[in-house]
């Protein structure tokens, strides 16, 4: 235990010296330093506890008997002997600074918010069994995947989400800027994964509105692709469109597939009503060429708005990490040279 106090003293001196240097560097900027993960600073207790435990549990040093005190005085230690605990002190100080680096010091002085121009868009895609119809190549779903992928590629500054529906609705992706992942998810869509016996357009629109619930964009858009009529229980599409209008969400509808007079499996008037109520536009696309033209026109219509993201603060952990590494290197150097110990 007698060696513990010199060790702590050396560690304290090293910590104070480094903190003085950092204080001179930052000056008044120190008042703007905050800690993103302050609980990690408690990790400094680990090396301190290890030092105390080692000092407590270490065996007592061997003793030598001298017949005369004058003989003992010849072996009094010099300056080097009194610095024997310096490497351990440096190592302890390095552990303290590593803990502070893990606590992620940041500066609020240079904080800013990421701003990007774009809009929030949720694509709502019909996955009912009729989407397997081959009147588009390779089928209606496959044609939709191609144009949706191209649409995402050409909207790099927008947050885009994806909702699919059959008898029920499901979120494939929330609003995201990670378009690479989103395009992969679009390419993996397959019929038969969900119940496609009916077409729940209302549920799909309702799910899209939920995804846009936390959006702070000025422009919020829903793009609905379907080839059928709403014939499922649950939320009525007209009620969903009224809710969308109240929230300032525009709905653009696209009716896919060849239409026949008197065909009860389609309801273009309802899709037109949904688009009209929300300030959107209703399209029809009977073949793949018209589907591409529809999305091109949609791209031209969509506006952009400035969206503010989360605040980003400059990281300062390196100002604690580098001193820690420097102290460890000095510890290794001293142990290998002047303060080297022999068994």
Per-residue model confidence as pLDDT tens digits over 65-77: 555 555 555 555 5
Distance CA 331, CA 107 (A): 30
Distance CA 184, CA 60 (A): 66
Neighbours of 278 (CB within 10 A): 25
β-bridge pairing 305-312 and 112-118: antiparallel
Per-residue model confidence as pLDDT tens digits over 135-144: 998 999 999 9
Per-residue model confidence as pLDDT tens digits over 218-241: 889 999 999 988 999 999 999 999
User: Quick one: pLDDT at residue 181?
Assistant: 95
For the segment 35-39, the average pLDDT, to the nearest whole number, is: 90
**Phi/psi zone of residue 23: left (φ > 0), alpha (ψ -120 to 50 degrees), beta?**
alpha
C-beta of residue 118 within 8 angstroms of C-beta of residue 309? no
pLDDT reading at 264 higher than 80: no
C-beta of residue 139 within 8 angstroms of C-beta of residue 220? no
C-beta of residue 121 within 8 angstroms of C-beta of residue 171? no
Lowest mean pLDDT among 14-18, 305-309, 312-316: 305-309
For the segment 123-144, the average pLDDT, to the nearest whole number, is: 94
Adjacency order of strands within the sheet including 159-165:
169-176, 159-165, 120-126, 220-226, 249-256, 282-285
Tokens, residue 57: 């549990």
**Phi/psi zone of residue 104: left (φ > 0), alpha (ψ -120 to 50 degrees), beta?**
left
User: Quick one: pLDDT at residue 68?
Assistant: 57
Please tell me what DSSP assigns to residue 55.
H
Compute φ and ψ for 337, nearest 5 degrees.
Answer: -125, -105
Distance CA 78, CA 179 (A): 68
For the segment 285-314, the average pLDDT, to the nearest whole number, is: 78
Tokens, residue 296: 């091109």
Tokens, residue 311: 């605040």
Domains and their CATH numbers in the chain:
4-60+76-111+313-336 (no CATH), 114-309 (3.40.50.410)
Helix axes 268-278 and 237-246, enclosed angle (nearest 10): 10
Please tell me what DSSP assigns to residue 61.
P
Distance CA 130, CA 148 (A): 18
User: Quick one: pLDDT at residue 239?
Assistant: 96
C-beta of residue 108 within 8 angstroms of C-beta of residue 181? no
Per-residue model confidence as pLDDT tens digits over 309-337: 556 678 888 999 999 999 999 988 888 88
Distance CA 115, CA 238 (A): 35
Tokens, residue 143: 């044609």
Q: From start to end of the chain, where are the E strands? A: 33-35, 105-107, 112-118, 120-126, 159-165, 169-176, 220-226, 249-256, 282-285, 305-312
């Amino acid at each position: 235990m007698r060696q513990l106090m010199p060790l702590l003293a050396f560690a304290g001196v090293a910590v104070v010296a480094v903190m003085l240097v950092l204080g001179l560097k930052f000056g008044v900027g120190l008042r703007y330093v905050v800690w993103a993960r302050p609980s990690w600073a408690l990790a400094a207790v680990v090396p301190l506890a290890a030092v105390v435990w080692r000092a407590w549990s270490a065996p007592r040093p061997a003793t030598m008997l001298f017949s005369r005190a004058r003989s003992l005085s010849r072996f009094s230690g010099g300056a080097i002997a009194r610095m024997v605990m310096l490497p351990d002190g440096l190592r302890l100080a390095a552990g303290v600074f590593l803990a502070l680096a893990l606590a992620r010091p940041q500066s609020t002085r240079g904080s800013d918010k990421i701003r990007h121009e774009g809009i929030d868009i949720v694509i709502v895609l019909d996955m009912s069994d009729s989407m397997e119809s081959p009147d588009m190549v390779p089928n209606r779903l496959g044609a939709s995947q191609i144009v949706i992928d191209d649409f995402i590629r050409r909207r790099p500054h927008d947050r885009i989400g994806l909702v699919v529906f059959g008898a029920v609705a499901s979120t494939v992706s929330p609003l995201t800027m990670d378009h690479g992942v989103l395009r992969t998810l679009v390419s993996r869509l397959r019929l038969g994964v969900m119940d496609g016996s009916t077409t729940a357009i209302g549920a799909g629109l309702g799910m899209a509105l939920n995804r846009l619930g936390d959006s702070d964009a000025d422009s919020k858009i829903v793009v609905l692709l379907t080839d059928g009529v709403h014939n499922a229980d649950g939320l009525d599409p007209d009620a969903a469109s009224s809710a969308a209008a109240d929230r300032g969400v525009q709905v653009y509808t696209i009716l896919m597939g060849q239409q026949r007079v008197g065909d009860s499996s389609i309801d273009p008037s309802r899709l037109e009503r949904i688009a009209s109520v929300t300030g959107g536009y209703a399209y029809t696309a009977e073949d793949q060429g018209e589907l591409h033209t529809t999305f091109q026109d949609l791209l031209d219509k969509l506006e952009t708005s400035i969206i503010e993201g989360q605040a980003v603060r400059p990281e300062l952990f390196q100002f604690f990490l580098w001193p820690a590494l420097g102290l460890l290197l000095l510890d290794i150097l001293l142990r290998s040279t002047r303060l080297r110990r022999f068994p």
